[in-house]
Amino acid sequence: MERDIEMESRQSQRETSTQHNADASLERILDKASTKQQDEAPADGKARSKLQMFAILTALFLSLFVAALDATIVSTAAPTMSHDLQSAAGYTWIGGAFLLGNAASGPIWAKLSDIFGRKLIVLLALAVFFASSAVCATAKTMEALIIGRAFQGAAGVWINLPISGLAAILILIFLDIKHEHTSFIDGMKAIDWLGIFTFLGCTLMLLLGLDFGGVLFPWDSAKIIALLVVGGCMIFAFIYSEARFAKYPLIPMSLFKNKTNVATFLVVFFHGFVFIAAEFYMPLFFQSVLEASPLRSGVLLLPLIVTGAVFGVVCGVIIHRTGRFREIMWVGSFFMCLGFGLFVSFNANASTGRVVGFQMIAGLGQGILFEAPLIAIQSQVEQADVATATATMSFVRNIAVSISVIVCGTIFQNSMSARSGYLRAAGLPQGLLDQLDGENALANVMLPSTLDNPAWEFAAKQAFAWATRNMWIMLTVIAFLSLVASLFVEAAHLGTEHVETVTGLRKEKERPEER
């Protein structure tokens, strides 16, 4: 039991997952804890006390909370931060740096936990998280903030420090799990260094190429082309390395031989692509078109987040009681597609009721799709491979959200450039046209509300609404692809007997024989 709790919590800590994912995962953990406590025993074979269980779950929940919080906490403040610092590139990098770090580190953390044990790696991750939170809390420049976000992501200023510190203390004292000691030298020898090198190469080069393209360098520049081409080649190098050379691979290629796994990974990718775009760019619509402050835009975003959290929990309860996850994925994909399709109707005259109602529909679908794919993946693999499979799913989602923030930002910039003729016809002077053109628009989201001319103000708001509308159209198509992919997921029997996984290098060596 404690193996599942710790594995799921540590993996969720790595994700650019949101609070909805945390709530759904916590519900699943609590369900297991309440129904199978009699099966649990720490490393010494003694049953855990209620106090120990409470302390462990509290620590893991706190870890989940700060990790989920940081994935999206800056979304409502990013437009204002970008405006104040006059940094259009910083708008996407505030979120992009966090997501890039998530995508590049997830599978590596998972494999290290298989070798050195979950507890040590969770504590190490919390230490990195704590330190980078301090960097972000004291950041005075956009560069310092982005560096801190790249290492772990914080931007919640000091709130992360006491929470992550308390979680680390509780884990250190109370978490006692099964792990066969692995010496540092043997563990370092067992690490898939070639896999890590090629994995980081393909991930960082591709994401940096997408991040830099059209912002720091033109898309047809030699630097961007080199990053994308070499990054693409590194993908094939990573796959070949994992299939032929890796003794303990970061991502076993056998995961992709199962049709349900592939379909589920596609659902996870499309879902990750869609949900982060809404949470990152919806505040931009609120602040530029509806003249909302950062605080009010956060309140306006609550229907999407709260609905997702509630239905994530409901999804976990339904799956726990019925064992049916395939149909749940169909329902989630349908409502996500419907909700984003309704977003297309948003304009400068959008009412609060319509904004709230449509977000609730989309949130229903998003929340469901945090939990159901996790169950689908874990039902298809051996218990010893659950951590690796979950980390791979997290990696797929993190790659999706990283690409989504960049692609949606590019669509927005190009759409604003395309509306320059409309704005010119509305009578806006050249100085304002320059501020609302392309990437400059991201640093001037508050500009429409400052215009004294009502006609100029309405035209600027319509331009922002039209640019975000193009994003919603693209995201609706992606959500539909999630629905199509979910149709290929096959049902599976969900076991009720808890099997505890023992980590350590010796167990890693035995696993190929067991499979």
Q: How many other C-beta atoms can be found within 10 angstroms of the C-beta atom of residue 59?
A: 24
The answer to whether the CB of 504 falls within 8 A of the CB of 115 is: yes
Q: Shortest CA distance to 502 belongs to which of 168, 118, 108?
A: 118
* Token code pair at residue 339: 């909700």
The answer to whether the CB of 42 falls within 8 A of the CB of 157 is: no
Q: Shortest CA distance to 376 belongs to which of 242, 398, 368?
A: 368
Q: Shortest CA distance to 42 belongs to which of 177, 243, 211?
A: 177
* Token code pair at residue 324: 């049916």
**Ranges 125-139, 181-195, 414-428: which has the least confidence:** 125-139
Q: Is the pLDDT of residue 457 over 80?
A: yes
* Token code pair at residue 433: 């046209």
Q: What is the pLDDT of residue 431?
A: 87
Q: Shortest CA distance to 239 belongs to which of 226, 256, 227?
A: 256
Q: What is the pLDDT of residue 75?
A: 55
The answer to whether the CB of 73 falls within 8 A of the CB of 153 is: no
Distance CA 68, CA 16 (A): 7
Mean pLDDT rounded to a whole number for the chain: 74
**Ranges 10-14, 207-211, 400-404: which has the least confidence:** 10-14
pTM to 2 decimal places: 0.72
Q: How many other C-beta atoms can be found within 10 angstroms of the C-beta atom of residue 464?
A: 27
Give me the mean pLDDT over the 373-386 stretch: 80
First-to-final CA distance of the chain: 22
Give me the mean pLDDT over the 201-223 stretch: 79
Give me the mean pLDDT over the 35-60 stretch: 60
Distances (CA, A) of 327 to 309, 311, 322, 483: 19, 14, 11, 11
Distance CA 291, CA 288 (A): 6
The fold for domain 2-192+247-490+501-514 equals Growth Hormone; Chain: A; (1.20.1250)
Return the ∠ at Cα 271 (arms to 371 and 94), rounded to 5°: 105
Q: What is the pLDDT of residue 465?
A: 92
The answer to whether the CB of 372 falls within 8 A of the CB of 333 is: no
DSSP per-residue string spanning 167-218: HHHHHHHH----B----HHHHHHHS-HHHHHHHHHHHHHHHHHHHHBTTTB-
Q: Answer with the residue of higher pLDDT: 141 or 113.
A: 113
Q: Give the residue range(s) of CATH 1.20.1250.20 domains in the chain.
A: 2-192+247-490+501-514
Q: What is the pLDDT of residue 71?
A: 57
Q: Is the pLDDT of residue 469 over 70?
A: yes
Give me the mean pLDDT over the 30-57 stretch: 55
The answer to whether the CB of 59 falls within 8 A of the CB of 171 is: yes
Residue 436 confidence class, pLDDT cut points 50, 70, 90: confident
Q: Shortest CA distance to 208 belongs to which of 193, 229, 194?
A: 229
Q: What is the pLDDT of residue 6?
A: 43
* Token code pair at residue 442: 């991201």
